[in-house]
Structure 1
Amino acid sequence: MNTPPSPSSASTPGTGRTDGASVRIGALAPLSRPGWTEAGRHLLAGLELAVAEVNDAGGIAGCPLELVVRDTAADPRRAAAAVEELAHLGVAAVAGEYHSVVARAAAARADALGLPFLCSSAVLDALTEQPTDWVARLCPAQSHGWRIYADFLLSEGHSRIAVATQSSVYWASGTRILRDHLAAHGGSVVELDMGALAPGDVCGELVGSAATALLLLVGHPDPAVPIVRSVRGDHRLAEVMIGAPAGQPEFAEWAALLGGDGAGIPFLRYLPERLGPLGARVGAALHERLGEAPSFVAFEGYDTVAVLAEVLRSHGSDRARIAESWSHVAVEGTRGKIRFSRTPGISVRQWAWAPVQVVDRDPAEPDRFRIRRSG
């Protein structure tokens, strides 16, 4: 699946076809470090399950659908190079990616090459510098989800928030969204620069900040896990809530590394309160494939292929026709009806919106999730 085609099976650029034998789509995911490999594994599981189901149902106009997978390893340059390679291999479209900064590089290259890109999981609002018809996105924009998270903080009585943050466009964007939304309601944000602080230094800074909540706008597992251990182990901070809007506690590795210390840390995920029949069926199949409960990222992967398969059936595998079709999409996904539109402030075709939840792991049962707010 990851091997470039031999000369005898070369694809025709712009068609996604391989000598009539298959319809090919490229898939980007972080499958090695420093990428968030657990997210990549779940994303790929969803993509692969949906492809298998498409093929079991007869494929695309009688031709099998084929994934050509490339590991981005959370590297924007590697992602851009992968998009370039996939374009030359003749894929009809590119799909996937979890890391926002990486997806932004992939989207820019896809836009420049005239290659449709359906982004599964990267939320950064400015996915492209200018509005484009080549890129569409399934997951909610960061500004949408993080405002819901800010409303949750306010509803819980937290108006002075500390953020432990690292240098990144994504983290800077999240900090700005939180600061602006909280300021409009009399709140404030204090930044703790983890480029200058060690995880153990956070406790003293947090005590001096008078903040009632600390948000982890940092990488996983480092420095997120050591920060949690430090704060949980400091009796002065027993009443401080820890939060992780980017979703670090969603995956099993979080619970394995932190145990009970990783519970009670609210984060964002993109699932409805109750899955419908399709979502329940897909969830069971994903559980069997992964050997564990599927994250929302796995559902995003499945929905990505569901959308692309419908587009390919209805509009063919010509790249320009795929890009023109985004505004006509109406697909029943695992989490609701998927349609794309032009959304103010968003440069790509956007599903507005996938369901949003604020959840945490139950301190009494860390493998169980509690819904704290829906939006």
Structure 2
Amino acid sequence: MVTQVPPTRREETPVRIGALAPLSAPGWAEAGQHLIAGLELAVDEVNADGGIAGRPLELLIRDTGADPQRAAEAVAELAGLGVAALVGEYHSVVARAAAARAEALGLPFLCSSAVIDTLTDEPAHRVARIAPAQSHGWRLYADFLLKAGHRRIAVAAQPSVYWAAGTGILREHLAPLGGTVVELGLPEHEDPRALCGGLAAHEATALLLLVGHPEPAVPLVRAVRADPRLGGVLIGAPAGQPEFASWAEQLGADGAGVPFLRYLPERFGPLGTRVGQDLRERLGAAPSFVGFEGYDTVAVLAEVLRTQGVAPEETAAAWERTAAAWSEVAVDGTRGLIRFSRTSGTGIWQWAWPPVQIADRDPADPGSFRVLHSG
């Protein structure tokens, strides 16, 4: 006897969303976990509220491992699987590769956390971003340094287009205001204590670590803290490394008093408060700003899909409708009203701007944070 299998109703067919995140080394897996937690929380809420025209959202998650080529291949794979859009990614160099491939394929990409200004080499119609542009946050960070009395600033940076962009932003912003940026060499496999001599010789009052975590950030912090010549030097990490629990676990008191950028409001409204509580339960720890970026990404995309509609199988025409809606969307996110515009210097659809804080871990209690400046 032949069993007749009933056809799948359209209402039961999931709307698939491709999601990129660093979930393994050398990627910053902790950031990736927070990002995925935010994405999944928002997907669960959308589905509990009836999904998209009765169809559930489904995340197809791919681990980029901080590898641009791996990310580009994942984008092509996900496009072939008929996803409605692409979301996520934390590392800027990886997001650049993903954005380029998505734009070339016609696939809408809503980037959650990567901040490098030039996310695409050419203006892109299909790429939008929740996170702020690097220049916006890092200029605020430079202003904070000046107000704190730091005008001779040293930078220890690993080779990367992202770190190089950050150094350039700092130098360009500080120079007209009387500040200088000194680049210290950071050769591979060198004893981190060697950097301390250069730092002392340049008489810098602040050292910014534009490096990966935990290596070489953790040994560099320990070396500077242990050097008696550098007791008054401020260590800074604008890219946000101290936000995550592993920083405090590995550095303890040495990791306190290191200012970093994060994208959170001074006070959360009801939505942000609730989402923060739910993320804490999922993560078993305080959520970082990356978790909120993930949640806001799906909240925005769900609204776009509701208003533009989705096809049974995603097509170039459906992708084009979604991309065309970036200019029209307005969604109350966890950190404010999200709208996109064509912001100068980015070439993409950009939320201008999420709230920005400069915070550090409190030296009196490294498990808690102090907000030092808001912008």
Superposition TM-score, scaled by structure 1 size: 0.95
Tell me the secondary structure at the aligned position of residue 104 of structure 1.
Answer: helix
1:304-343 aligned at under 5 Å gives the runs 304-317=297-310, 318-343=318-343
Structure 1 moving runs of 4+ over 6 Å: none
Could you say which residue in structure 2 is the equivalent of 1:78?
70
Cα distance, 1:19 vs structure 2: 8.8
Q: Conserved in 1, the CA contact under 8 Å of 2:12 and 2:56? A: no
Tell me the secondary structure at the aligned position of residue 345 of structure 1.
Answer: coil
Q: Conserved in 2, the CA contact under 8 Å of 1:18 and 1:24? A: no
Q: Conserved in 2, the CA contact under 8 Å of 1:43 and 1:96? A: yes
Q: Which amino acid aligns with 1:349?
A: W
1:290-369 aligned at under 5 Å gives the runs 290-317=283-310, 318-369=318-369
Mapped pair 1:182 → 2:156: no
1:122-161 aligned at under 5 Å gives the runs 122-161=114-153
RMSD: 1.4
Could you say which residue in structure 2 is the equivalent of 1:266?
259
Distance 1:199 1:110 in 2: 39
Q: Which amino acid aligns with 2:134?
A: Q
Cα distance, 1:20 vs structure 2: 5.5
Could you say which residue in structure 2 is the equivalent of 1:5?
none
- The equivalent position to 1:120 in structure 2, one of 112, 127, 144, is 112
Tell me the secondary structure at the aligned position of residue 58 of structure 1.
Answer: coil
Superposition TM-score, scaled by structure 2 size: 0.95
Distance 1:18 1:244 in 2: 49
Q: Conserved in 2, the CA contact under 8 Å of 1:115 and 1:319? A: yes
Distance 2:371 2:250 in 1: 22
1:186-197 aligned at under 5 Å gives the runs 186-195=178-187, 197=190
Distance 1:316 1:111 in 2: 21
TM-superposition CA deviations, 1:183-205 (whole Å, max 9, x none): 01011111112125431111101
TM-superposition CA deviations, 1:40-60 (whole Å, max 9, x none): 000000000000000000000
Mapped pair 1:246 → 2:230: no
Cα distance, 1:267 vs structure 2: 0.1
Could you say which residue in structure 1 is the equivalent of 2:313?
none
Could you say which residue in structure 1 is the equivalent of 2:229?
236
Q: Percent identity?
A: 71
Distance 1:200 1:72 in 2: 33
Distance 1:316 1:130 in 2: 28
Could you say which residue in structure 2 is the equivalent of 1:214?
207
- The equivalent position to 1:110 in structure 2, one of 102, 106, 123, is 102
Cα distance, 1:263 vs structure 2: 0.2
Mapped pair 1:224 → 2:198: no
Distance 1:37 1:18 in 2: 36
1:276-295 aligned at under 5 Å gives the runs 276-295=269-288
- The equivalent position to 1:36 in structure 2, one of 20, 24, 28, is 28
Cα distance, 1:149 vs structure 2: 0.2
Q: Conserved in 2, the CA contact under 8 Å of 1:167 and 1:195? A: no
TM-superposition CA deviations, 1:214-244 (whole Å, max 9, x none): 0000111000000000000011100000000
Q: Which amino acid aligns with 1:325?
A: A
Tell me the secondary structure at the aligned position of residue 366 of structure 1.
Answer: strand
Distance 2:116 2:191 in 1: 27
Could you say which residue in structure 2 is the equivalent of 1:11?
none
Distance 2:143 2:11 in 1: 53
Distance 2:185 2:47 in 1: 49
**Aligned positions, number:** 361
Q: CA 1:272 to 1:49, structure 2 compared with 1: closer, same or farther past 3 Å?
A: same
Q: Which amino acid aligns with 1:191?
A: E
Distance 1:370 1:320 in 2: 44
Q: CA 1:18 to 1:36, structure 2 compared with 1: closer, same or farther past 3 Å?
A: farther
